[in-house]
Structure 1
């Protein structure tokens, strides 16, 4: 059997899996421990639609409780939320799908927080929409757009590995363009330094800047790793399959929990059974799975994007913050749920 045929058959199997009732998918998957959300954001403005998609977390080191969350409404633009879930800002940016941010970036000679969103307003030509996030006012200021390549923009993640700022733009067809960003001038510019490829639809991605590893979720296939260095190999290494056990298709959002110099975890949204799967970064071994079940702020279903940031986020999240998109917000427009990393660690019996 050829590799292309194998991929095609895997895709067909995943389509069949999605016709299986959710109760059967959950029963067939590996067991998952449970946690509860400790907070949630206000719903996005687009109602009666699959609209909220991907979050990015900024931690305020001086005042952790004043940290911020940037989230996409993929039909309308970008929201900025406080940890209390209230809207601090909204930027009408049209169809922006995924979002990431980096602190300590130099913009026109001054340190700043840069926010990058995958702009799919033109489905034939991907763009990277760039913004500056003001940590005091929580306002987003547009910086401009950079070309992301031919095709529909889907996922995006930022990296400072090896110096400079790079954006990895995941196109809907599985193409991944690595774009070197230059924010030193009046308007941003970018240069595609290399292209990688997965065979089918992909979206979620995250970079471990310590090791220079890029993790990408191919929705019907599983989780992959690439070398994130501009001159590195473009050959992917498969970490885990969307086999209906550890990951139930779709494989969606990806997040990194870096601990120390080399340790930590990579998390992926197992959308097909409303769960989240955890692997060790050191040896890429399977750790376990968890679900966010009904509590004061409701359960999560059909999660697309996720983000995780370790460190103190105030009394509710002293060890870190996990934020996920909720695809079924109990009759309201979609939103994002907030979970304490300490609770996830305890449920999975993780030892740093």
Structure 2
């Protein structure tokens, strides 16, 4: 969720607080100056802007990789005021589905859908702010069309973040409610109507949103916006106590901590990335020991940079000539004079900028 520090907004907050003094958020230049230095990369591509102009609308992406023809891979992105977009790697819109207020999105391939395996897309549905739901969709890779399957209940509260987990026994969705509650929902889309069952509930103390699951290790990562990055045991039988990986201390993570993504390497190692929205940066931690690795920003080049990022996504592997080693996607909260969109960055550019082993 973007936070805009404006004089009007500050004045309104002071009135609501009975004219009490409200501390102003430090200006961006000061936040950047106080933060740990970050290397820079530039985007190689971008999507068409979402259809909702003059608003905080684009939010979260998900990636489907076409193993047979990597350049024909697809991106699903949310306009959280309107619905779901499907883009090609060229950034052009391939499809749009009016789904209302869907906030975050994730997908998994090879899931049983209506009797056959397919690509299951799940979004956090905020159309009813009191009763969270998961909206389920099927993505057709041949036509790049997305179709609605139905909705399942996901608990009381406002739906916010979403991430999926392919476990041996089931496909799960973790829905992060705005108050920091995390519900683990077992999904079944094999029949005519999808069903879901909450099997476990976890809790962080304050507003949370971004999350990602490492299917290899069964670890769930969740960003608590003003606190930092946490990990949970993602197994349905696992403990519900979180472990803090990093604090939103104004240095490595400048609050808000927002989107979360994973770069898996080998059986148990790799990197977890989190959006440091407060200073327009992205932070990298090593999975094996939670250690800090580095920070980077996506700056203006032939294509504009990204600022005030909400959702991020990362997938390693061949995505064709432009993204041969993997694809990183960041929501761009300030897309020049246009509506918000998503910026596409080659993972190999990030690896080189940070000096990571290749």
Residues 202-217 of structure 1: matches in 2 within 5 Å?
202-217=208-223
CA contact (8 A) 1:162 1:229 kept: no
Is the Cα–Cα contact under 8 Å of residues 161 and 228 in structure 1 kept in the other structure? no
Q: Does 1:332 align with 2:332?
A: no
Match of 1:52 in 2: 58
In the TM superposition, what is the alpha-carbon distance from 1:179 to its structure 2 partner? 0.2
- Is 1:64–2:70 an aligned residue pair? yes
1 CA distance for matches of 2:203 and 2:267?
Answer: 29
**Which residue in the other structure is 1:178 paired with?**
184
Aligned with 2:147 (options 141, 144, 152): 141
Runs of 4+ in structure 1 displaced over 6 angstroms?
A: none
Shift of residue 253, structure 1, vs aligned partner: 0.1
Q: Which residue of 2 aligns with 1:29?
A: 35
Equivalent residues of 2:116, 2:190 under 8 A apart: no
Q: 1:75 aligns with which of 72, 77, 81?
A: 81
How far apart, CA to CA, are the structure 2 residues paired with 1:199 and 1:162?
30
Question: 1:225 & 1:163 partners in 2: Cα distance?
Answer: 21
SS at match of 1:309: strand
2:133 aligned with 1:127 = yes
Alignment of 1:180-329 (within 5 A): 180-329=186-335
**What number of residue pairs does the alignment pair up?**
337
Distance 1:97 1:214 in 2: 19
RMSD: 0.9
Secondary structure of the structure 1 residue equivalent to 2:33: helix
| 2:5 equivalent in structure 1 | none
1:12 alignment counterpart: none
Name 2:158's counterpart in structure 1: 152
Q: Secondary structure at the match of 1:26?
A: helix
Alpha-carbon separation, structure 2, partners of 1:299 and 1:340? 13
1:164 deviation in Å? Answer: 1.1
Could you give the per-residue CA deviations for residues 191-212 of structure 1, whole angstroms, max 9, x where no partner exists? 0001000000000000001110
- Work out whether residues 60 and 104 of structure 2, in 8 Å CA contact, stay in contact via their aligned partners in 1: yes
Task: Please list the CA deviations of residues 208-234 of structure 1 after superposition, one character each: whole Å capped at 9, or x if unmatched.
Answer: 011100000000000000000001000
Provide Cα deviations, 1:30-81, integer angstroms capped at 9, x if missing partner: 0100000000000000000000000000000000000000000000000000
Distance in 1, matches of 2:38 and 2:56, equals 25
Partner of 1:4: none
Residue 112 of structure 2 is matched in structure 1 by: 106
Report the more deviating stretch, 186-195 or 104-113. Answer: 104-113
Indicate yes or no: 2:354 matched with 1:348: yes
Trace 1:155-170 onto structure 2 (pairs within 5 A): 155-170=161-176
- SS of equivalent to 2:345: strand
Structure 2, gaps ≥5 residues long = 1-21
**How many angstroms does 1:19 deviate by?**
1.1
1:328, CA displacement in angstroms? 0.1
- Give unpaired runs (5+ residues) of structure 1: 1-14
